[in-house]
Amino acid sequence: MLANVLVRPGEIELREIDTPSASAGEVVVRVRAALTCGTDLKTFLRGHPKFPLPMLFGHEFSGEIAQAGKGVKNFREGDAVMSVPSGPCGECYYCKRGQENICESAMANYALGAYAEYIKVPAQVVSQNMFAKPDSLSYKEAALLEPLACVLHGLSMITFHPEDTVVIIGAGAIGLLHMLALQVYGLHKIIVIGRKPYKLRLARELGAYIVIDATLGTTRAEVLEVTKGRGADVVIECTGQPSVWEASVNLVRRGGEVIFFGGCKQGTSVSFDTHRLHYDQITIRSPFHLTRSSVRQAYELLTERKLNGNPLITGTYPLDRLNEVFALLQQGNCIKYAVTPSGQ
Ligand SMILES: [Zn+2]
Ligand SMILES: [Zn+2]
């Protein structure tokens, strides 16, 4: 089969490799759509602490079961499926305490290699986090299951009310998925902060209350103006830049909550004003990854057509143009691309 391999940072090769085969409990999925992700771009640029190079690349996907291993009961050859790339073991210290998002073996059982004709999905994932895809949902949209599940996991850690003002920093896929999810929950005062005109325009089209161009340097003044000088009830940081983490706690109101969703580069650190955090009682959350419950919620939002993810998919490219796709992602006038074996 043809599979894209990230050979070293900045270098992708489309290679002919052995088509995977499914052992007990596993399935092999014929990929119908894979989506680019911010994590993929970071990995493309600098490698990944958990996955050594060269590596099979891509983790957001949907497709059809090409082969089901022994003992797989829920799926048969030909079934349309959608899945996230990982699943919890249910037995480690963290899983037993309800923190399956940081399961010890989730990363060791990770489905990697979605920019390919086929991808093998580990048993732990098949049994916990793979679902039937209804015909009413396109393969491309179905591949949003993982990023949306991560977003919903983060939102499950905070409290919010329909009248709240939420600031989202970062107008990429994750920032906009936060906005779309909050809209489903009835929130409409959502301020989106970004830098790229394409993304800010889309945020506005998708119903952002206010859009702030961060390059103007007026962000804090604008947020304070809209919130009667208080600051936002909730701030969600989706850029993964230490300086933005630091700035986000100055956009939230007293007693408000901040989510650090964007993971920063290894070895970086941040500093905060202790008085601000303590005397203004700022709650900080730093959600990582997803849980079965957030995956199920994401599945419902997508399959019940409550959340329309289509506008986040800027275009579609075939497998052999992945280098081009990553060049476009670096320019930033896009949200996500679908990569499909057919290019359709
Ligand atoms: Zn992702
Ligand atoms: Zn576990």
Q: Write out pLDDT tens, residues 168-204.
A: 999 999 999 999 999 999 999 999 999 999 999 999 9
Give the right CATH number for 158-285 from 3.40.50.10680, 3.40.50.720, 3.30.365.10, 3.20.20.70.
3.40.50.720
Q: How far is the CA of 224 from the centre of ligand 1 (A)?
A: 32
CATH architecture for the domain at 2-149+290-340: Alpha-Beta Complex (3.90)
Placement of tokens 């090769």 in the chain: 13
Q: How far is the CA of 37 from the centre of ligand 1 (A)?
A: 5
Q: Read off the pLDDT band of 51 (50, 70, 90).
A: confident
- Choice among 41-50, 53-62, 128-137, 195-204 with the minimum mean pLDDT: 41-50
**Omega before 318 within 30 of 0, i.e. cis:** no
Of all ligands present, the nearest one to the C-alpha of 37 is 1
The structural domains of the chain, with segments of one domain joined by +, span 2-149+290-340, 158-285
Identify the pLDDT of residue 303: 98
% of the chain at pLDDT higher than 70: 100
Mean pLDDT to the nearest integer, 211-222: 97
The H helix count followed by the E strand count for the chain is 12, 16
Residues 6+ apart with CB under 8 A from 52: none
Q: Read off the pLDDT band of 343 (50, 70, 90).
A: confident
Local structure of 266: helix, strand or coil: coil
Mean pLDDT to the nearest integer, 104-123: 95
Alpha carbon separation from 7 to 13, 14, 54, 255, 317 (Å, rounded):
7, 10, 4, 47, 20
Identify the pLDDT of residue 220: 97
Q: How far is the CA of 120 from the centre of ligand 2 (A)?
A: 20
Identify the pLDDT of residue 50: 79
User: How high is the mean pLDDT of the chain?
Assistant: 96
Q: How far is the CA of 275 from the centre of ligand 1 (A)?
A: 35
Q: How far is the CA of 49 from the centre of ligand 2 (A)?
A: 20
Mean pLDDT to the nearest integer, 32-61: 93
Alpha carbon separation from 125 to 128, 303, 311 (Å, rounded):
5, 19, 28
Mean pLDDT to the nearest integer, 304-310: 97
Residue 226, amino acid = V
Mean pLDDT to the nearest integer, 137-160: 97
C-alpha gyration radius of the chain: 20
Identify the pLDDT of residue 266: 87
Of all ligands present, the nearest one to the C-alpha of 143 is 1
Of all ligands present, the nearest one to the C-alpha of 105 is 2
Mean pLDDT to the nearest integer, 68-97: 97
Instruction: Kindly compute the dihedral angle of the four CA atoms of residues 332, 333, 335, 336, in this order, to the nearest 10 degrees.
Output: -80
Mean pLDDT to the nearest integer, 205-234: 97
Query: Does residue 278 or residue 265 have the better pLDDT?
Result: 278
Q: How far is the CA of 173 from the centre of ligand 1 (A)?
A: 10
Q: How far is the CA of 293 from the centre of ligand 2 (A)?
A: 15
CA distance 13 to 179: 35
Identify the pLDDT of residue 49: 79
Residue 80 pLDDT > 90, yes or no? Answer: yes
Evaluate if pTM is beyond 0.85: yes
% of the chain at pLDDT higher than 90: 95
Q: How far is the CA of 114 from the centre of ligand 2 (A)?
A: 24
